[in-house]
Amino acid sequence: MFRPLLISSNNVMKQGALRYLRRLHENAIPNSKRKENDGEFQDLNEMYSDMFTPNQGTQHQNDGPSVKSEIDELNAELSSMNNFNFEKLSCEKLQQITLKDGKFILRSLSINPYYNLALEDYIFRNTPIDIKDEEKFQSQRLLFYINDKCAVIGKNQTIWKELYLGNLIKKGFEVLRRLSGGGAVVHDLGNVNYSFLTSRDKFKTSFFNELLVKSMSQIDRCSSVTLNKRGDITYMGKKCSGSAFKIARGKAYHHGTMLVSANLSSFHGLLKPDHVNGIEWKCNSVDSVRSEITNIPLSSPQEFIDLCIEGFQREFSSEDQEEIPIYYCDEESATNSQIKETMKTLEDDHWKYFSGPKFTLTLESNQHYVSVEKGLVVQSNNPLLIGKSFKEVAETEPFKTKL
């Protein structure tokens, strides 16, 4: 099970992290209240960037006493987040704003991917809509969250076909299967996740990414940010954002990722290529689109969030709701029974490994093959494997070596 953030010598302890938290504690106010040329907040953004940007000249193999004391101090700062100058939603307030008609923006302060995906699902399921009159829908919502290191596959993907699971475990990445479709993505603290919710009637797959590109075009260094033919956001021809969609109950959401200050070198060897020698797959699972990736040229994840908020406010503010409210929450303050239940599902091995589509896997010119349905081997040229979970089989030779 995923654990809440605890900074240690092996965690993301970057120069400026402690300074960032202190300044956030002093200055945390919505972006709509900030002055564009305020050097104070520019400094804060630079500190945020420092937190997530690897220090190329520093080695952390042997942390000294000063580093340990900073770690302890940083953990104390994290424990005191309730004292920030913005109010975090309670369970009751979260339910109230979700069930009530109206637009809002919600920023999760948790880095637990299980909580964030469950929170997103809760907002989606409980946003009110009149199915008989979707045209009148005026409850668009925008959610932001940043996940700790993890790989997330789509609902209809085959996990062993998409991920090098052994490498993910070695590098300390959590593995999740989300509730929407789409392909596999890798997250870390330099990647922002956004989720735009609207009605099915008003939903268009490219709409929100077009809005993002328009918002980023205000900054000169983002002049090369464009949409490709698939609707993905690219910078200098390289992909910096991936998207997935879900449509149900008269509603739809478009959620995506934006690489801002991600440690891209740590992503190597985590996602599988289109073809691996010696392996043949037969399955109807959704394949990820393999692309060369890059970070977007922004100073920090917060700068991207600010641009999104400004674009959302411009697009959806109206006479009835001149300024769309911005709320904050985290796992401690706003975890209700429905969110807990979804988290439990996402954490369950049965959902992760057994709920994907059926497949047949053949190794090394028909020497070894298995057919798998609902995570169990139903056919094989090795009778001893029939009836076993493929998760167990995948840990044995020769599958372990190949997968």
Task: Provide the pLDDT for residue 286.
Answer: 87
Domain 87-276+286-348 part of CATH 3.30.930.10 = yes
Task: Provide the pLDDT for residue 74.
Answer: 44
The reply to whether the predicted model has a pTM over 0.75 is: yes
* Neighbouring C-beta atoms of residue 240, cutoff 10 Å: 23
Where residue 93 falls (left for φ over 0; alpha for ψ -120 to 50; beta otherwise) is alpha
What type of residue sits at position 80? Answer: S
- Alpha carbon distance 326, 109 (integer Å): 13
Summarised one tens digit per residue, pLDDT across range 76-88 is 444 444 444 568 9
Average of pLDDT values for 245-265?
94
Task: Provide the pLDDT for residue 85.
Answer: 55
Token reading at 309: 């908020």
Residue boundaries of the structural domains of the chain: 7-85, 87-276+286-348, 358-402
Summarised one tens digit per residue, pLDDT across range 201-252 is 999 888 999 999 999 988 999 989 999 888 889 999 999 998 889 999 899 9
What is the phi/psi pair of residue 132, to 5°?
-80, -15
The 3-state secondary structure of 347-377, one letter per residue: HCHHHHHHCCCCEEEEECCCCEEEEEECCEE
Task: Provide the pLDDT for residue 218.
Answer: 86
**Percent of the chain predicted with pLDDT > 90:** 65
Summarised one tens digit per residue, pLDDT across range 110-166 is 999 999 999 999 999 999 998 888 778 999 999 999 999 999 999 999 999 999 999
Average of pLDDT values for 366-379?
92
Q: For residue 56, what is the DSSP state?
A: T
Does residue 10 surpass a pLDDT of 60? no
Of 18-27, 293-302, 336-345, least confident by mean pLDDT is 18-27
Neighbouring residues of 160: CB distance < 8 A, sequence distance ≥ 6: 361, 390, 394, 403
What type of residue sits at position 294? Answer: T
What type of residue sits at position 215? Answer: S
Q: Which of 294, 353, 310, 22 is nearest to 162 (CA)?
A: 353
Of 29-43, 177-191, 202-216, least confident by mean pLDDT is 29-43
- Alpha carbon distance 220, 363 (integer Å): 51
Neighbouring residues of 306: CB distance < 8 A, sequence distance ≥ 6: 31
Token reading at 210: 């077009």
Task: Provide the pLDDT for residue 70.
Answer: 44
Neighbouring residues of 94: CB distance < 8 A, sequence distance ≥ 6: 122, 329, 334, 336
Neighbouring residues of 182: CB distance < 8 A, sequence distance ≥ 6: 154, 242, 243, 244, 245, 286
